[in-house]
Structure 1
Amino acid sequence: MSTTPPTSPRPRLPSPLQELRDDRFTRHGLTLVLKRDDLIHPDLPGNKYRKLSPNLDAAVAAGHTVLLTFGGAYSNHLRATAAAGRLLGMETIGVVRGDELAERPLNPSLTQCAADGMRLHFIDRATYRRKTDPEVLATLLRATGASHPYVIPEGGSNSLAVQGCTALGEELRGHAHTAAVACGTGGTLAGMAAGLAPDQRALGIPVLKGGFLGPEIRALQERTFGAPTANWYLDERFHFGGYARTPPELTAFANDFEDRHGLPVERVYVAKLLYALTALSEEGAFAPGTQVTAVITATEPAPPAAQSSTSR
């Protein structure tokens, strides 16, 4: 990221690949590989680095000093934007979906946002659904006191972000038959699919229910590339009731995966992705000989006291 201060860690790109021996895949003749995007940057892991980097470059080039963005109470995007603002010396404002009283005390993600200097502005869910309306956005800007902010959409998913994620697909050329990623707003899948080779497919696992994501991904690709690609598909069965829902079945799966492989499993996105791929393997969804590569896009938030933000 060209805007990152020289004292900050350099991104680890391309991110490493890690093959796992897991009998739930090998007994079906499949190879499971992890694309460790969670190791790209300690403060901006995974797809957040890829999506934010071109937006931050654009913000700095245009002379903005304030970043304003949106997200739910467990948003990894809010957390990454707050960290980026700290690293770049920019003010950050996070518009959070939900009632402030209901979100107190702050969960670990929002606690980290606040520790990194982000001002949190809570709005009700009905208003949040209309956040892109010009009148609603103007009201938000007045309420937050934001002066000439650079506005980044929810999840960071805009054309710049989609372009940033094409490099993910390019890095996976020759390293996957099916490349799979958990989806929130769809920007990562939209870019990754465009970067893959013609003989590769992209699979998206939505972590929200509602069935709205397909049209949004197509719209993102149309705005970015002029037309949608035909090499991606979604399986919408694995949202477990909605965003940030982690019922006992999913928690048990994540705990077991961690015990099997000695790897931490983030619960909002990564656990649902890995659960889905395991279930699809058992269903025979992948032909024998298939290499399934799971893109690990997120990490669990560390306690703010454990972060080294004050030293950078």
Structure 2
Amino acid sequence: MTRDELFTLLAGLRQARVAGKRAPHKPLLLLWLFGQFAATGSSAASYQQAEAPVSQLINDFGPPVASVVASRQRAAMPFVHLERELWDLRDADGIPIGSDVPERRPQLLGRGAVGRLRAPVEHLLADPGVMAAAARLLLEQHFTPILAELICAEVGLDMADLDLAGSVWKGGLDRSKLRRRGFAEEVLRAYAYRCAMCGFDGALGRHPVAIEAAHVRWHSQDGPDEVTNALALCALHHALFDLGVLGITEDRLILVSELYVAKSPAGQAVDALAGKPLLAPRPRHSPVDVVHVSWHHAQVFKHYHLGAV
């Protein structure tokens, strides 16, 4: 396997979207395996070892799930279905497990399922530059820059190494995925350099600080670089919006997830945003499109389900 063949496989992961929702299960399993390999020199992991940390990653950075039972075994799907060109999955007796077995916890635990990235993949990942470029490819293709930092911290990858790697692989570069030049400045001007949620408008001299252009439907998920798919947000509320702590109703009122908790007055100030209207953009700009609001509400916002804490 060559480096470009590896990157092509990573860029083309098959994803089973249910009801149109994004499915970052395989990328998150791979990133966790990359972290294990970086720490130990081996990506071998039993399902028993992987279930809790990988399921938690999917719960934290994937769409919400209603069932408590399902939330605890979300690692089963990628553990079974990760492409066999990348992944070798066997039972306790060393017999290969096919991708047609039920993606269920009892079956995987009962068979003592153990997976490992194939030897040619591990050989390539032993090069820190390839590891960094592979991780960056997955992060850029499936998440936002803010979430990328948090995911790296969770799986034990060094974000500084990823930054140095840059975009090493050019073979599958999709020009449509590049952000439109001038998009961020257009959004900030539309909102008069104010956070659309809290009104923060700080500046250092002539330069606004900690005000960012936030996609509502993520750029990595085909969200357009248009003001109707964006908000100007302060750095704090941008992070909370990408994490699903904050959301928006179709009437453009602010939502705060019931799963969010805070004890300090500063933390509780986030709860105080609930029900408040978003600041509107300047008159010649249209507000956020309801289509993008609905996408964020379904795929990012952290809904509370009875007993799901």
TM-score over 0.5 (shorter chain): no
TM-score relative to the length of structure 2: 0.29
TM-score normalised by length of structure 1: 0.28
Structure with the larger strand share: 1
Q: Which has the larger radius of gyration?
A: 2
RCO higher in structure (CA 8 A, sep ≥6): 1
